[in-house]
């Protein structure tokens, strides 16, 4: 089975989202079945699932037409990053790739998660050619692709864009796969010997020029990797976009002046803060012939920043005036769900086609710091005692997610398999509401007294209530739990500081592309970047390396399944929810491929289908 790919949201922005959206778990769900393909409703989409033959998808449907302005309402003060090398929030990337940026490869536009998880060529002519045991990847650019000023997009522009990622002190916060995968020597501390284009010496630049080469006609780009990556063509959807060197202003690229567009729209104006707007108009130098993938229906996009989430909900629900053609960045608040849904899979009649509930990108879990809670039985007791049913109810019920059983979410497709964590893993079935008596037994088997634990969470009202429920369910088993809320904007920067982190706390993670290689290694290996559990297990590390190197995808999937189960057996984390979101669009919008032209969640980014909406 296929699966939708998901992204993780940049940690800082996730924190910020937690801060403002009341209850970051806020969202909703279309189906309680843990099957990705049903999550966004039955697909009536024409089978663009024929994956790599991109062009067909949207054009086949008669409904869509060009024109009009689509408004995008958002609570954010501004986009985290517009710089193509730094954008790393799923929703942002989905929006940008549909409007202003092109990349070598893109995901198919389709409401069907299986279909949408497949790649389709964008700037490249095909899905790339691996050679040398997938250690070398070659992509050839289409003819006639240009930037907004009409100058051609060349291999050199992509190469320059990729090189910016290496300037980790200027280009911050973006995906860093280029640094991890490209065959460039590293320093003793693990950092790359190439410091990025801004301050590289000739010798250092030569290192990069050796790893990324352009053909004589400047149309073919070759990446030399330091490891076999059979999924490298997925990697190039993250931060491998072209940037013309002449326009690069480093730190504030895309902020001080609009970024240089390669997609069907260009930035006409951008003003941040409450009341700020970004206006996108058609890019006169974009042409359909060089871009069969996109179908830019609206004439204009207007992003409205700094709106109150509740006001946005009301405006979207009422859908009058300009709001008729509005989309909302992020999901509906829990308190407004009953207004528009009968149940998670059924909108109320008048909202049919306008609202949808389905998987968001995140698997939510509670990390346990194994350095502070080293006793396996104690961790088991914590997992067993946790009242997951209350957790979900407080977060918003069925709409916000299915109860999770691991950190790999079903929408990752073949990499997901049930871990049986709550059925047989600990010798007996654990009810959703927790089993304090069994937890007490486990504590007595642990050989130590039930410890006093400190629980970290972002200080928002909803998380506060969840924390109180976590506290009371663990205390029923004999633990003492102290609550240690953290200001939302600081959450991840605090819990990553070993001196400031508590014993366990709330987190969420989404994969970068449909392969659990972007889930298990980050979460449970020391250099993965998101190892909140502080796990550093040499056997596990070895198994992770083996799985990463595995070239047979089916075998690799089995490896990830086993590692996911193993992580749960060790209770490095307690899975809570496979998150869901409830999206809404204005009554004056339709989608090219959605069921009856209705709204759907675009699987690859768990986002609005930006590339598929049109004004009716």
Residue 72 Cβ vs other proteins, minimum distance, rounded to whole Å: 15
194 near other proteins, judged by CB under 8 A: no
**Positions 41 through 80 that interact with other proteins (CB under 8 A):** 77-78
Spatial CA neighbour of 337 closest among 13, 26, 7: 26
For every residue of 268-302, DSSP letters joined together read EEE--STT-EEEEEE-TT--GGG-TT-----SEEE
Residues touching other proteins: how many (CB under 8 A)? 99
Q: Which two tokens stand for residue 57?
A: 């998808």
Q: Quick one: which segment of 176-184, 202-210, 422-430, 552-560 binds other proteins (CB under 8 A)?
A: 176-184
Residues 451-490 that bind other proteins (CB under 8 A): 454, 459-462, 464-465, 467-469, 472, 482-490
Asked if 161 and 243 count as a contact pair (C-beta separation under 8 A), the reply is yes
DSSP letter string, 523-550:
HHSTTSS--TT----HHHHHHHHHHHH-
**Chain-centre distance of CA 21, in angstroms?**
17
Place of tokens 């940037």: 243
179, 211, 407, 532: residue in contact with other proteins (rule CB under 8 A): 179
CB of 527 or CB of 551, closer to other proteins: 527
Which C-beta is closer to other proteins: that of 197 or that of 594? 197
Residue 180 found at the interface with other proteins (CB under 8 A): yes
Query: What is the maximal distance between C-alpha atoms in the chain?
Result: 72
Per CB under 8 A, the segment of 247-255, 282-290, 348-356, 534-542 that binds other proteins is 247-255
Nearer to other proteins, 31 or 390 (CB): 390
**Residue 240 engages other proteins in binding (rule: CB under 8 A):** no
Segment interacting with other proteins (CB under 8 A) among 183-191, 284-292, 361-369, 573-581: 183-191
Report CA 200 to chain centroid distance, whole Å: 32
**Comparison of 121 and 502: residue with beta carbon closer to other proteins:** 502
**Does residue 302 contact residue 71 with C-beta atoms inside 8 Å?**
yes
Residue 255 near other proteins by CB under 8 A:
yes
In whole angstroms, how close is the CB of 315 to other proteins at the nearest point? 6
Out of 336, 360, 402, 612, the only residue in the binding site for other proteins (CB under 8 A) is 336
Strand, helix or coil at 366?
strand
Q: CB-based burial of residue 383 (10 Å sphere; 0-12 exposed, 13-18 middle, 19+ buried)?
A: buried
CA-based nearest residue to 512, from 175, 277, 179, 121: 175
CB 479 within 8 A of CB 451: yes
Our finding on whether 341 is near other proteins (CB under 8 A) is yes
Min dist CB 590 to other proteins, Å, is 25
Tell me the closest approach of the beta carbon of residue 510 to other proteins, in angstroms.
Answer: 11
> Residues 153 to 172: which contact other proteins by CB under 8 A?
167-170, 172
Residues contacting 189, CB < 8 A, separation 6+: none
| Contacts to other proteins from residues 7-46, by CB under 8 A | 8, 10-12, 16, 19-20, 22-23, 28
Tell me the two tokens of residue 339: 């207004």
How far is it, in rounded angstroms, from Cα 27 to Cα 25? 6
CA 197: distance to chain centroid?
A: 28
Q: How far apart are the C-alpha atoms of 95 and 97, rounded to whole Å?
A: 6
Q: Which residue, 494 or 593, has its beta carbon nearer to other proteins?
A: 494
Of positions 250, 292, 418, 478, contacts other proteins by CB under 8 A:
250
| Residues 275-314 close enough to bind other proteins by CB under 8 A | 275-276, 306-308, 310-311, 314
Q: Which of 398, 415, 550, 559 binds other proteins (CB under 8 A)?
A: 398
Question: Quick one: which H or E segment has residue 114?
Answer: helix 113-116
- Which listed residue (397, 418, 478, 588) binds other proteins by CB under 8 A? 397
By CB under 8 A, residue 272 contacts other proteins? yes
Q: Which two tokens stand for residue 504?
A: 């366990």
445 part of the interface to other proteins, by CB under 8 A: no
């Amino acid at each position: 089975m296929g699966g939708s790919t998901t992204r993780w949201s940049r940690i800082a922005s996730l924190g910020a989202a937690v801060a403002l959206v009341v209850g970051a778990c806020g969202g909703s769900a279309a189906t309680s079945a843990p099957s990705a393909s049903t999550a966004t409703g039955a697909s009536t989409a024409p089978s663009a699932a024929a994956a790599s033959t991109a062009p067909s998808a949207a054009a086949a449907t008669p409904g869509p037409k060009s024109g009009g302005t689509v408004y995008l309402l958002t609570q954010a003060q501004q986009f985290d990053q517009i710089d193509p090398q730094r954008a790393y929030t799923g929703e942002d990337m989905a929006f940008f790739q549909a409007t202003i940026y092109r990349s070598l490869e893109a995901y198919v536009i389709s409401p069907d998660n299986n279909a949408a998880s497949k790649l389709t060529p964008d700037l490249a002519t095909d899905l790339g050619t691996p050679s040398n045991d997938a250690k070398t990847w070659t992509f050839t650019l289409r003819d006639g692709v240009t930037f907004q000023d009409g100058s051609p997009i060349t291999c050199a522009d992509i190469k320059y864009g990729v090189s910016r990622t290496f300037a980790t002190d200027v280009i911050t916060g973006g995906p860093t796969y280029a640094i991890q995968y490209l065959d460039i020597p590293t320093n003793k501390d693990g950092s790359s010997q190439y410091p990025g284009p801004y301050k590289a010496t000739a010798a250092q630049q030569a290192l990069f020029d050796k790893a990324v080469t352009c053909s004589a006609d400047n149309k073919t780009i070759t990446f030399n990797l330091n490891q076999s990556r059979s999924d490298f063509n997925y990697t190039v959807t993250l931060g491998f976009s072209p940037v013309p060197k002449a326009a690069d202003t480093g730190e504030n690229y895309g902020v001080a002046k609009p970024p240089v567009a390669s997609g069907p729209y260009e930035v006409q104006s951008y003003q941040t803060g409450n009341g700020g707007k970004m206006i996108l108009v058609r890019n006169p130098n974009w042409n359909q012939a060089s871009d069969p993938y996109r179908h830019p229906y609206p004439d204009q996009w207007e992003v409205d920043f700094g709106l109150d989430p509740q006001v946005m909900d009301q405006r979207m629900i009422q859908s009058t005036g300009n709001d008729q053609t509005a989309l909302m960045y992020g999901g509906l608040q829990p308190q407004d769900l009953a207004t528009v849904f009968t149940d998670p899979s059924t909108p109320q009649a008048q909202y049919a086609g306008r609202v949808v509930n389905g998987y968001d990108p995140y698997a939510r879990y509670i990390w346990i710091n194994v350095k502070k809670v080293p006793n396996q039985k104690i961790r088991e007791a914590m997992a067993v005692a946790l009242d997951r049913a209350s957790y979900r109810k407080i977060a918003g019920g069925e709409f916000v997610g299915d109860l999770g059983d691991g950190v790999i979410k079903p929408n990752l497709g073949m990499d997901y398999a049930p871990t049986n964590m709550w059925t047989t893993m600990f010798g007996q079935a654990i009810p959703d509401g927790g089993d304090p008596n069994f937890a007490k037994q486990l504590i007595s088997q642990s050989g130590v007294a039930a410890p006093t634990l400190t629980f970290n969470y972002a200080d928002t009202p909803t998380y506060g209530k969840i924390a109180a429920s976590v506290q009371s369910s663990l205390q029923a088993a004999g633990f003492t739990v102290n609550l240690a809320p953290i200001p939302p904007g600081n959450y991840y920067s605090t819990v990553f500081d070993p001196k400031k982190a508590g014993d366990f706390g709330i987190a969420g993670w989404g994969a970068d592309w449909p392969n659990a290689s972007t889930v298990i290694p980050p979460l449970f290996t020391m250099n993965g970047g998101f190892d909140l559990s502080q796990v550093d297990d040499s056997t596990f590390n070895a198994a992770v390396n083996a799985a990463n190197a595995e070239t047979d995808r089916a075998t690799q999937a089995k490896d990830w399944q086993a590692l996911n189960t193993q992580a749960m057996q060790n209770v490095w984390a307690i899975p809570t929810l496979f998150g869901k979101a409830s999206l809404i669009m204005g009554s004056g919008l339709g989608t090219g491929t959605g069921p009856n032209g209705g709204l759907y969640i675009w699987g690859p980014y768990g986002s609005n289908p930006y590339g598929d909406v049109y004004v009716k």
